[in-house]
Amino acid sequence: MRPLPDAQARALADERVAGWIGEHAIPAYVDGTDSTTEQAQRELRMLRIEAFPTLVLFDSEGELSRRTGVFSAGELLNWLEGSGVGG
């Protein structure tokens, strides 16, 4: 798996962010390290992932929100809380 930038790894490990994810989400990680394989290319196209890191929130009806790039724990928590999930 492609390593997350340190700042992103810290944001996801933040107690508040981890608590929100634990209560409202099921995390899934896509390994984009070998995007040359046909299967990896299909998965990246299906999810419309063009850059890493990309976070996508889904509900039973489809995509709710998407964010690409590195951000702080506070920025991530604001995005998650503003997504409409668990509200």
Q: Measuring CA to CA, which residue among 27, 46, 43 is closest to residue 35?
A: 43
pLDDT attached to residue 1: 44
Number of domains in the chain: 1
Q: Which range of residues forms the domain containing residue 32?
A: 6-81
Spell out the alpha helix ranges (H) of the chain: 6-13, 15-24, 38-47, 73-81
Residue 87, in any domain of the structure: no
Structure letter (DSSP) for residue 14? S
Q: What is the pLDDT along the chain (87 residues), one digit of tens a residue?
A: 455 667 678 888 899 999 999 999 988 877 777 777 888 888 889 999 988 888 999 988 999 999 998 889 999 999 999 998 876
The whole-model pTM stands at 0.79
Residue 75, in any domain of the structure: yes
Q: Other C-beta atoms within 10 Å of 72: how many?
A: 14
Residue 1, in any domain of the structure: no
pLDDT attached to residue 69: 87
CB 85 within 8 A of CB 59: yes
CATH number for 39: 3.40.30.10
Q: Measuring CA to CA, which residue among 60, 52, 55 is closest to residue 75?
A: 55
